[in-house]
Amino acid sequence: MKRPVLSLSRTAGRLTAGARLLPAFLIAGGQRCGTTSLYRALARHPLLLKPVLHKGVHYFDVAYWRGLAWYRAHFPLRAGAALLAHRYGGRALAFESSPYYLFHPTAGERIAADLPGVKLIVLVRDPVERARSAHAHELARGYEREPLFERAVELEQARLAGAEELLRGSPHARHHSHRHHAYLARGRYADQLDRLEPLFGRDRILVLDSHRFFTDPEHVHDRVLEFLGVPHLGYPVFERHNGRPRPRPLPGELERALREHFEPYDARLVRWLDEEPSWRR
């Protein structure tokens, strides 16, 4: 039943696309950094309107060939947003969360072209822990067949060879390993943020430490609402979603090597977070 219902809903959305909102902000990543938890917390605010069907539309990374009308069909109607704005005394904003946007080589350029003025929210996490969590996640979903994290890290460079060139070549292009096996590359957050900065400007990108979000969610929630210019209407119930059991400890030599690998990238995050990343303190 689910597929026919989704198909009917998307058809109706395309027919009314001109009357629908486009997102005012995106949770753009990173993967396994708490994006689902933040998305669900923000979706409880009456002026923050999630997609009609599901959390991540993935238009700007893997579905760009479908066109902007297809994308707009996923979002609420402007008439309903106007009613909410009148009721709550603030502008209603549509948004979505697709954590591949941060890492995909052309997603930022596509977003900047199609959503002028859009704001981006990015969450970052200890990159070693993120890599291990991503490996466990992809393994559980069947996208990874190498059970040993250490071996998956060794394979990464060869798996990702030529991926960016392929993805830049066509809006139809997909690369399985770029999306599912980039354990170290996705944790080099500073490179990805530096790619976005010329497109959006520093003031339209909010970077959050996910550890701060989980330990002090009210403070982070307030920062997000201030960044978006949305009135504070109380706090939601903050919950952790998509968590996985902590993997076994890494061999000391491997952990030291990974920490050294990420150190220069982590140091460059200070200017984005306005403080040291939590995992460096």
User: Cα(165)–Cα(96) distance, rounded to whole angstroms?
Assistant: 27
Q: What's the confidence (pLDDT) of residue 5?
A: 42
User: Cα(190)–Cα(266) distance, rounded to whole angstroms?
Assistant: 7
If pLDDT is split at 50, 70 and 90, which confidence band does 8 have? very low
4 found inside a domain: no
Exposed/middle/buried for residue 250 (C-beta within 10 Å: 0-12, 13-18, 19+): middle
What does the pLDDT look like over 81-110, one tens digit per residue?
999 999 999 999 999 999 999 999 999 999
Exposed/middle/buried for residue 53 (C-beta within 10 Å: 0-12, 13-18, 19+): middle
What is the three-class DSSP state of 121? Answer: strand
| C-alpha dist (Å) from residue 130 to 16, 187, 190 | 39, 7, 15
If pLDDT is split at 50, 70 and 90, which confidence band does 54 have? confident
* Residue 73 φ/ψ, nearest 5 degrees: -65, -15
Compute the average pLDDT of residues 126-155.
97
Give this prediction's pTM: 0.92
Write b or e for each residue in 78-90: b if 16 or more Cβ atoms lie within 10 A of its Cβ, otherwise e.
beebeebeeeeeb
Write b or e for each residue in 112-142: b if 16 or more Cβ atoms lie within 10 A of its Cβ, otherwise e.
bebbeebbbbbbbbbbbbbbbbbbbbbbeee
pLDDT at residue 13 tops 60: no
Q: What's the confidence (pLDDT) of residue 2?
A: 45
* Residue 106 φ/ψ, nearest 5 degrees: -115, -5
CATH of the domain at 62: 3.40.50.300
3 found inside a domain: no
| Residue among 154, 211, 199 at smallest CA distance from 181 | 154
269 found inside a domain: yes
Structural domains in the chain (count): 1
90 found inside a domain: yes
Angle between helices 189-200 and 252-267 (to 10 degrees): 20
Q: Is 214 left (phi over 0), alpha (psi -120 to 50) or beta?
A: alpha
If pLDDT is split at 50, 70 and 90, which confidence band does 4 have? low
Q: What's the confidence (pLDDT) of residue 248?
A: 76
1 found inside a domain: no
Compute the average pLDDT of residues 189-194.
98
Q: What's the confidence (pLDDT) of residue 77?
A: 97
2 found inside a domain: no
Q: What's the confidence (pLDDT) of residue 242?
A: 65
If pLDDT is split at 50, 70 and 90, which confidence band does 78 have? very high
Compute the average pLDDT of residues 244-248.
69
Tokens standing for residue 80:
């309903």
User: Cα(219)–Cα(199) distance, rounded to whole angstroms?
Assistant: 28
What is the three-class DSSP state of 63? Answer: coil
Mean pLDDT, the chain, rounded, equals 93
The residue range of the domain holding 171 is 17-280
How many alpha carbons fall within 13 Å on the CB side of residue 211? 13
Q: Is the dihedral of CA 99, 170, 174, 126 positive or negative?
A: negative
